[in-house]
């Protein structure tokens, strides 16, 4: 499988996972179907769209690659039809959430670095890609974004994933390895952090 295809598959998986999380929030707020669709799109595609707008390099990929919007809409419909509140659905969503975190921090950082940005801005864009959609979603429903603290590790994991992806890309010339490492790290550490209640000072 080519690198671009791999990135795309993992990326869209993250979109579906985040879209389900957005839909689950819409259910808890008793929104109508429009609310499900809006929150799924914003949670699933918001971070990448902020990244692409900041990188100002043509249309955001969420508008040109049909798989992204289709993934978010599918997630909205699934979340609308199926109640995702059993033990296993909840656990799967948690895993999907930290998996998307790693995937997006890696793709965001690699895209920014490929376009010529320096180290710090590339990492910042990785973090924005990973947590931007969730922040937008939280603000839209009137919550203080969870990235600000009082929650377990989230943006800090995205920063770690971004650094790893950048190292793998710049030092070893292996962005694909960077994505793998970033996903593994955020998923494992993210699960541990939730289980053990790790927090930043």
State the residues that interact with a second copy by CB under 8 A: 26, 29-35, 38-39, 41, 49, 53-56, 58-60, 62-64, 66, 69-70, 73, 112, 117-118, 120-121, 124-125, 135, 139-145, 147-150, 154-156, 199-201
Minimum CB distance to a second copy smaller for 45 or for 180: 45
Radius of gyration of the chain (CA): 16
CB of 112 to a second copy, least distance (A): 8
The candidate with the shortest Cα–Cα distance to 40, out of 55, 18, 61, 67, is: 18
Contact between 39 and 137 under an 8 Å Cβ cutoff? The reply is yes
* Alpha carbon distance 177, 105 (integer Å): 13
The least distance separating a second copy from the CB of residue 159, rounded to whole angstroms, comes to 8
3-state SS, one letter per residue, for 110-122 = HHHHHCCCCHHHH
What DSSP letter does each residue of 2-34 carry, written as one string? -HHHHHHHHHHHHHHHHHHHHHHHHHHTT--HH
Nearer to a second copy, 136 or 180 (CB): 136
Provide the minimum distance between the beta carbon of 37 and a second copy in the complex, in angstroms, as a whole number: 8
Q: Which is nearer to a second copy, 46 or 180 (CB)?
A: 46
Q: Which is nearer to a second copy, 148 or 172 (CB)?
A: 148
Residues 6 or more apart in contact with residue 188 via CB below 8 angstroms = none
Q: What are phi and psi for residue 18, nearest 5 degrees?
A: -70, -35
User: Is 91 or 143 the residue whose CB approaches a second copy more closely?
Assistant: 143
Q: Select from 178, 158, 138 the least CA-distant residue to 51.
A: 158
CB of 128 to a second copy, least distance (A): 10
Decide whether 32 or 85 has the Cβ nearer to a second copy.
32
What span, in angstroms and rounded, lies between the C-alpha atoms of 36 and 52? 24
Nearest approach, Cβ of 95 to a second copy (angstroms)? 22
Cβ at position 84, least distance to a second copy in Å: 18
């Amino acid at each position: 499988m080519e690198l671009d295809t791999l990135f795309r598959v993992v990326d869209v998986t993250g979109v579906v996972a985040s879209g389900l999380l957005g839909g689950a929030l819409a259910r808890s707020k008793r929104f109508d179907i429009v609310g499900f669709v809006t929150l799924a799109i914003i949670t699933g595609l918001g971070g990448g769209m902020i990244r692409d707008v900041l990188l100002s390099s043509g249309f955001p990929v969420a508008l040109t690659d049909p798989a992204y919007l289709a993934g978010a809409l599918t997630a909205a419909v699934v979340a609308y039809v199926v109640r995702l509140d059993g033990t296993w659905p909840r656990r799967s969503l948690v895993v999907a959430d930290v998996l998307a975190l790693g995937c997006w921090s890696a793709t965001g950082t690699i895209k920014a670095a490929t376009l010529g940005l320096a180290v710090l801005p590339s990492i910042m864009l990785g973090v924005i890609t990973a947590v931007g959609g969730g922040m937008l979603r939280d603000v839209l429903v009137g919550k203080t974004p969870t990235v600000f603290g009082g929650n377990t590790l989230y943006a800090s994991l995205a920063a770690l994933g971004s650094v790893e992806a950048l190292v793998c890309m710049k030092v070893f010339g292996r962005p694909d390895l960077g994505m793998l490492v970033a996903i593994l790290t955020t998923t494992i550490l993210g699960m541990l952090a939730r289980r053990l209640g790790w927090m930043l000072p």
